[in-house]
Amino acid sequence: MTVRRVMGIETEYGISVPGDPTANPMMLSGHVVNAYASAHGVRSGRASWDYADEAPLRDARGFEINRALADPSQLTDIEDPTLANVVLTNGARLYVDHAHPEYSSPEVMTPRDVVAWDRAGELIMLEAVRRLSAVPGTAGVNLYKNNTDGKGASYGTHENYLMRRETPFTDIVRHLIPFFVARQVIVGSGRVGIGQDSRTPGFQLSQRADFFEVEVGLETTLKRPIINTRDEPHAVADLYRRLHVIIGDANQCDVANLLKVGTTSLVLAMVEDGALTRDLTVAKPVATLHAVSHDPSLRTRLTLRDGRRLTALELLWEYYEAAAAYLDARGLGGDDDPDTAEVMRLWADVMTRLGTDTMSCARDVDWVAKLQLMEGYRDRDGLAWSDPRLSAIDIQWSDVRPEKGLFHRLAERGRITSLVDAVEVKAAMTEPPEDTRAWFRGKCLEKFSGQVAAASWDSVIFDVPGRQALQRVPMLEPQRGTRAHVGAIIDRSPDVVTLLRELDAAAD
């Protein structure tokens, strides 16, 4: 195994109206989705979401929660016709989730593609903001790629990784909890304020850490767990599970974003192959998660079950060394595997610099870049961490507008490392990845939009002229429906009737 696997990122964006703190966020979020979708010929209610295979209450530990006992926020399989919900030609989903506009990227196979299609989501949100601001007589909306409003509310950036079903879930829990506790030192987005409501002055590594309260659980918006147990594979259930990771921050630095998914994918490969033999279990992982986030000096020591006391960086080096040995034993990660080689090179480089000169990582790690900027303001104006101006700067950091967002200003000045060029990101706004089933989904939306009644991660439903019943095309194998697999069929099909006939013939 390498870093390559089916994966993707879902990002809920912070939303506000200038000068109107009482504005309805659900209505505003709907405006955001519709502003982009309508401009690209996609109507909410047409090419909407297919909920048939959703199972948000099924738990990976082997049971399913009674719907009557579930929190309403968990019932994500119920369609709300009042909320905007569309599928885009790049294979992504754009919709309203928990009063936020959410962009769920299409399935991709490499960490670099995660970065490209995640950044495409930023441009999609920016276009929506631009279109809304151009409406006469309105204040428009502001959108932020962050995870908290600084007043006690948190919203998610979730990662998804396809795994082999045969992998014991207990192994996933045992090896990932310490990794996630430590991972924030390289992938945290930084935050002004300590505690869920930011009441305690200070700066911390992660936007999300303070909002996690348990080690393992099914919830995503309350009693948030380090390991989420939702068992909703969106694929052949006997073969695959989808690991739904809710503990990550929204990254804007390409290097941190690539490392977030790349290192996690490598750790999962080792878990799947039974190659992680070291016991790295952390004592009191939730409290330790908070403590690590609260210490930008990176000196906090974690107590392991075997009695060792390591810093988060030292713990991450343990995972890195295990990954290096794993790859070396299998002859992987060399010149013929550039994706894995890149992750390993950047992983070691960032950790080395964090351990010797933290601020040297300001080009690559979100929290370091933000802290460097904050310290500049503090030194210039004599600001204490309790000063509300720093909290305002924290929010402005993640504004999606290049002329307003402080991160974007740094990037424009060449002070942030870019791994994916602007042309590729712009193309990813409308084009799906070629090597997953997202290709079929996106191209059907592009070519046959009038006949696509609904879609989901594992299906496309057509309204075929002359047929009374809707026609559902299942896509339970995420690495089928690629350009190589169905591109020629789509190209030579002038209409949906021909497409379905060609697909049937190819399946025989």
Residue 506: Cβ within 10 Å count: 11
Q: What angle do CA 41, 29, 252 make, to 5 degrees?
A: 90
Using the Cα atoms of residue 450, residue 451, residue 453 and residue 456 in order, give the sign of their dihedral. negative
Measure Cα distances from 398 to 9, 368, 407 in Å.
17, 14, 6
Residue 46: Cβ within 10 Å count: 16
468: amino acid identity, one letter? Q
97 catalytic, yes or no?
A: yes
- Alpha carbon 452 to its chain's center: 26
Burial letters 69-83, b for 16+ CB under 10 A, else e: eeeeebebeeeeeeb
Measure Cα distances from 356 to 298, 352, 353, 359, 416 in Å.
11, 6, 5, 9, 20
For 329, list phi and psi in degrees, rounded to 5.
-65, -25
C-alpha 176/C-alpha 345 separation (Å) is 21
Within 145-207, strands assigned E span 157-164, 191-194, 200-204
Please give the helix or strand (H or E) that residue 319 lies within, else none: helix 312-329
Task: Assess contact for 90 and 117: CB atoms under 8 A.
Answer: yes
Helices (H), 361-495: 366-381, 388-397, 406-412, 422-428, 438-447, 483-492
Exposed, middle or buried: residue 386 (CB in 10 Å: 0-12, 13-18, 19+)?
Answer: middle
220: amino acid identity, one letter? T
Q: Which two tokens stand for residue 274?
A: 């039974």
303: amino acid identity, one letter? T
Question: Exactly one of 97, 339, 364, 458 is catalytic; which is it?
Answer: 97
Residues tagged active-site: 97
